[in-house]
Structure 1
Amino acid sequence: MGQASFPEMYERWLVGPLFRPWAEVTFEEVKLSPGHRVLDIACGTGIVARVARERLGAAGYVVGIDINAEMLAVARTVAPDIDWRVGNAGALPLHDGEQFDVIVCQQGLQFFPDKPAAAAQMRRALARGGRLAVATWRSDEEIPFFRDLRRVAERLLGPIADLRHSFGDAALIEALLRDAGFHDVRSRTISRRIRFEDGAPLLRLNAMALVGMSAAGKAMADHERMRVVEDIVSGSAPVLQSYADGSGVAFELSSNLVTAKG
């Protein structure tokens, strides 16, 4: 994986197999029409915005917002024709009166420190009659692959609160959106079989994430953190082997998809 930055590794190894399928599912649920204005909140390197652009072509306007400028630097390299903006979900950087027909927040809401503020901003940004789609992973207790990898890491680090799976109760998301003024709020759980041609980068990036989210990992010096990542990767090899699929790895992954209208 060389000297690539985390956003570059994220784009290269995770976006295609892990995040693009859910973007496709979202736009099957929330149909796009020519001329639609689309906002991708917590866009990362921008896969949701890019899928929207593919579907709309020139007959649409797409904006991606993320708090991480390094993620957006990769997004701009991959898709320079999209309007990428650095910003916080709790105070979206919108132009005066700017609103969107479709807003998507894919696997971002669980990380927001002030979820009611973010929901209120989504409501402000959504045009009358527009559609919102929010996706969050289910608890990793429902996703054996990631549960098993977490348990390997916890043997070295102690208990880990994995933020990626911290908002897996769809009822909480529904209540949040209703409180923000959305209506016709609906949710469903979607499960898909995800396959990686090469499981090694996934294993390493996941170990890095778990160390970074653990109390023990946050207290470590960089060299110690790197050593623990290597130990977790080694210890996780049997898990990876148990999900082997030919030369790659495959597992079931479940996400909430909550939709609402403005």
Structure 2
Amino acid sequence: MTLRSYAMNQATFPEMYERWLVGPLFQPWADMTLEEVRLSRGDRVLDIACGTGIVARVARERLGNADFVVGIDVSSDMLAIARAVAPDIDWREGNASALPLHDGEQFVVIVCQQGLQFFPDKAAAAAQMRRALAKGGRLAVTTWRSDDEIPFFRELRRVAERHLGAISDQRYSFGDAALLETLLREAGFNEVRSKVVSRTIRFEDDAPFLRLNAMALVGMSAAGKAMGDHERKRVVEDIVSESAPVLQPYTDGSGIAFEVSTNLATAKG
């Protein structure tokens, strides 16, 4: 996944992403997805669009051997954090539509967690996943449902749109499970299935989350891309300030809690 980097207390977006989002938001889904593919000792695992590497790290912990785990991402900034956190894992920079694999290299388990929706050529990426998956291997792909089905994020987007105009939020842009299944079948996968999974996510400190979400929305908007750094920072601050009322119904005294839903598609090679 690639998002613009912004400064906040000298931290980059990937640093803040790892510190504030990975544990509460992405690790629970990584645990669930690796359970779904029945990860077991000896499996070679590929984490596509690995970001700062939470799926790869959880897989390494379960396998007990980093030699069996590879993480690939297009963002050198995200990978820099991944390498700093887990230097023993094989991190590779590359595009999902042209995976940087060794000749004949294949994997027993491939996971793409919340990355497919960002790929410009999804068919090419799916074909690459198929090429990389060993015969009989297991694939798992997750994509958030549309934010029309996730009131919390829908309301935050609408606050941002007051300043930026209409925003096409890529994070929730591939929420149709039927399209996801079709994509995988057309790439040659077998036993393609999907289900919708919902769970409650909790943030003890809502301020960093709110800021990161505002930064992401600004970065994905046409208006935000045209702004200079000073104006972009000001707009982020305005969105954060105006988003506070959205949090009130989700606050329970020890942070915020809200439900999110994702497609979870599985297939075999």
1:83 to 81, 90, 99: 90
User: What SS class does the counterpart of residue 245 from structure 1 fall into?
Assistant: coil
Equivalent residue in structure 2 for 1:249, among 231, 246, 256: 256
Aligned pair partner of 1:57 in 59, 64, 71: 64
Structure 1: distance between partners of 2:208 and 2:101: 36
Give 1:59 shift: 8.0
Deviation for aligned residue 1:171: 0.5
2:27 alignment partner in structure 1:
20
Q: 2:107 maps to which residue?
A: 100
Unaligned runs of 5+ in 1: none
Name the CA distance, whole Å, in 1 between partners of 2:11 and 2:225. 22
Equivalent position SS for 1:161: coil
> Identity of counterpart residues, as a percentage?
81
Q: Which residue of 2 aligns with 1:6?
A: 13
Aligned equivalents of 1:73 and 1:214: distance in 2?
26
The aligned residue for residue 144 of structure 1 is 151
Query: What is the aligned partner in structure 2 of residue 227 from structure 1?
Result: 234
The within-5 A match list for 1:116-127 is 116-127=123-134
Once the two structures are overlaid, the 10-residue window that deviates more, 157-166 or 54-63, is 54-63
SS at match of 1:72: helix
Moved over 4 A (4+): none
Matched, 1:130 2:130: no
How far apart, in 1, do the equivalents of 2:142 and 2:211 lie? Answer: 24
1:207, 1:213 → 2: CA distance? Answer: 10
SS of 1:189's partner is strand
Aligned residues: 262
* Cα distance, 1:156 vs structure 2: 1.3
Aligned partner of 1:202 in structure 2 is 209
Contact 2:127-2:187 within 8 A present in 1 as well: yes
State the alpha-carbon separation in 2 of the partners of residues 147 and 204 from structure 1. 16
Distance 1:53 1:101 in 2: 14
How many angstroms apart in 2 are the aligned matches of 1:33 and 1:223? 49
1:214 corresponds in structure 2 to 221
Deviation, structure 1 residue 60:
5.9
Measure the CA separation in 1 of the matches of 2:77 and 2:222. Answer: 24
The equivalent of 1:156 in structure 2 is 163
Give the alignment's TM-score, normalised by structure 2: 0.96
Larger displacement relative to structure 2 (146-155 or 241-250): 241-250
Deviation of residue 42 (structure 1)?
0.2
* Structure 2 unmatched ranges of 5 or more: 1-7
Selected match of 1:184 from 160, 173, 191 = 191
Separation of aligned partners in 1, 2:242 and 2:186 = 44
Q: Residue 240 of structure 1 is aligned with which of 232, 235, 247? A: 247
Instruction: Provide, for residues 137-167 of structure 1, a one-character-per-residue CA deviation record: whole Å limited to 9, x for no partner.
Output: 0000100110000011111111100000000
Give the Å deviation of 1:66: 0.3
CA contact (8 A) 1:36 1:59 kept: no
8 Å contact 2:48–2:110 — kept in the other structure?
Answer: yes
Q: Deviations over 1:179-212 (max 9, x none)?
A: 0000100000000000001011110000001111
Report whether the alignment pairs 1:40 with 2:71. Answer: no
Of 158, 178, 189, the match for 1:171: 178
| RMSD between superposed Cα atoms in Å | 0.9
| 1:197-254 deviation line (CA, Å, top 9, x unaligned) | 1011110000001111111111111111111000000000001122112231100000
Return the TM-score normalized by structure 1: 0.98
